[in-house]
Amino acid sequence: MMQKRAPIITIMGHVDHGKTSLLDFIRHSNLVSREAGGITQHIGAYQIEFQGQKITFIDTPGHAAFNKMRQRGAQVTDLVILVVAANDGVKPQTLESIRFIKESKVPFIVAINKIDLPDLHLEVVKSQLAEAGVLVQEYGGDIEVVEISAKTGAGIDKLLEIIIAMTDLLELRADPSAPLEAVVLESTKEKNKGPIAHVIVRAGTLVIHQDLIVDNIAGRVRLLENENGQAMQQVLPGEPAEIIGLDAVPEVGSVIRDAHANYNQDLTNEFSRTGELEKSFHLSDEINWENIDLDFMLGKKEKIKLIIKADVKGTLEAILQSLDKDSVEVIACGVGQITEQDMELARDGKVLLIAFNVKVNNTQKKIAKNMGVKIKEYNIIYHLIEDLQQSMLKLLDATFDEVVTGEAEILQIFTMKGETIAGVRVKTGEIKKTDLLHLKRGETIIANPVLKTMKHGKDEIERIGTKNEGGLTFKNKKIDFQVGDLIVAYKKES
């Protein structure tokens, strides 16, 4: 029987615009202080009650490396709150979030945060949103905008009232007696608990001692907990929970089902996904010793060699997303503690072992020192990415007296107002407007272009950082660049 369920609300926006602070105020807790560097690094789901109505919130990470996680957040949500800082306006991750929202075709509200700060220009922010294709109501559009302060609480009750009103119109219903579908928002493995899945139930009811299956993983629910660590007996549609009892760590975004229920074999679920990134790097959580690439181990390929262990699957995916496969070879990855197998593969410094939010105890450090294993520990993802990018740059080919500072690939070519524009994505380092440049096709330098303009959307910019995109025009009118060519920035070695 169909019943009203709690709406699932996703919070999106640029890093440091106050997404977690907003959720923090709503929940009257202190989530931000628990996050390394003050940024959210996992997807978390939390439920509140306002005016007798339960509301489930998903807090998506704000750092650019987590764009896949933000996209996944949009795919499981009923309504999005797009947070934009009143003092900072529309930024690159704001634009990414807008794109993900539109692709997902979900309704959304704009929350302009930090109105407690002085000298704000709210109309500028609204006009920037309009330029990005988001027309708020006072600009003739249909998007609700609420001015708030996650610090003082101003406007937050109004925001919650609008959420309830909008989701009531959606008439969200689910059948608690239907076959179970629970979407994995995050997953990890802990020493004392084993595999853990953080989920939101979309249909059916998740209960204690239930037999489950997700992809090729089975299990039985030993324990259900809410976000506060309190035991639960059942989880209804729209509610979040932590599942303990699966035999292995499931993929983020996969769907957990009742092992004994009858499902339509043709059923496709928009939340199901496979480990594309792990497959692209030829990875698995378990290392198969027989299939290790011996040429790679002997160093015949000039690449950075990595083993990556992270605390949760979502973070691992974000790290893999940030790597350049031309410069990096990942021979193993997974969640959980560093193992003896990891140590053996990294022996004698052949492989760098990265531990992200994974504690390396003194005994492991001593063993690593004796084995010549290099371990680097991180708890903030952009520190890890920056270090890897610097290492990648050292591997790029350059002429004898040149030092490469960045590399971008031409993804598309288009013409606007008589100008031929190269749409590029920076693979490594950065490209600055004042840089010396080579245009490379394969291994051959075919030209030395000089930049005329560098833009992101309509905005003139001075640099494009790693994994970001932009449009370039050149002063050299006769340059014959093609999709797939590389723009290499360099400086002369003194």
Encode pLDDT of 361-382 as tens digits.
888 988 988 888 889 999 888 7
Instruction: Give residue 42's pLDDT.
Output: 65
**Widest Cα–Cα separation across the chain:** 75
CB contact set of 117 (below 8 Å; sequence gap of 6+): 86, 87
- DSSP output for 409-428: EEEEEEEETTEEEEEEEEEE
Eight-state DSSP code of residue 378? E
Which pLDDT value is given to residue 59? 76
- Does residue 200 contact residue 173 with C-beta atoms inside 8 Å? no
State residue 424's pLDDT score: 94
Q: Which residue has the tokens 């807008």?
A: 98
Checking DSSP bridges between strand 181-190 and strand 451-456, what pairing results, if any?
unpaired
CA distance 289 to 352: 18
Question: Helix or strand or coil: residue 31?
Answer: coil
- Within a 10 A sphere around the Cβ of 436, how many other Cβ atoms? 16
Q: How far apart (Å, rounded) are the C-alpha atoms in residues 21 and 23?
A: 5
Domain 402-492: assigned CATH number: 2.40.30.10
Query: What is the CATH number assigned to the segment(s) 181-258?
Result: 2.40.30.10
The contacts of residue 339 (CB under 8 Å, 6+ apart) are: none
Q: For residue 68, what pLDDT is reported? A: 62
Instruction: Answer whether 61's CB lies under 8 Å from 14's CB.
Output: no
Q: Give me the pLDDT at residue 269, please.
A: 38
Residue 253 CA to residue 275 CA, distance in Å, equals 10
CA angle (221, 77, 49) in 5-degree steps? 75
The Cα angle at residue 410 between residues 308 and 12, in degrees rounded to 5 = 55
- Which residues in the chain land under pLDDT 50? 265-277, 279, 282-288, 290-301, 397-400
Q: What is the pLDDT of residue 345?
A: 87
CA-based nearest residue to 159, from 106, 112, 101, 92: 112
Record: fold of 276-393: Rossmann fold (3.40.50)
Task: Give the model confidence (pLDDT) of 154-178 as tens digits.
Answer: 999 999 999 999 999 999 999 999 9
**What's the CATH fold of domain 3-173?**
Rossmann fold (3.40.50)
CA gap 297, 8 in Å, rounded:
47
In the chain, what are the domain boundaries?
3-173, 181-258, 276-393, 402-492
pLDDT of residue 325: 77
Which amino acid, residue 31? L
181-258 with 402-492: one CATH topology? Answer: yes
- Polymer length in residues for the chain: 494
Give the Cα separation of 45 and 201 in Å (integer): 11
- The number of C-alpha atoms within 13 Å of 162 and in the hemisphere containing its C-beta is 19
Scan for tokens 């990891």, then name that residue.
342
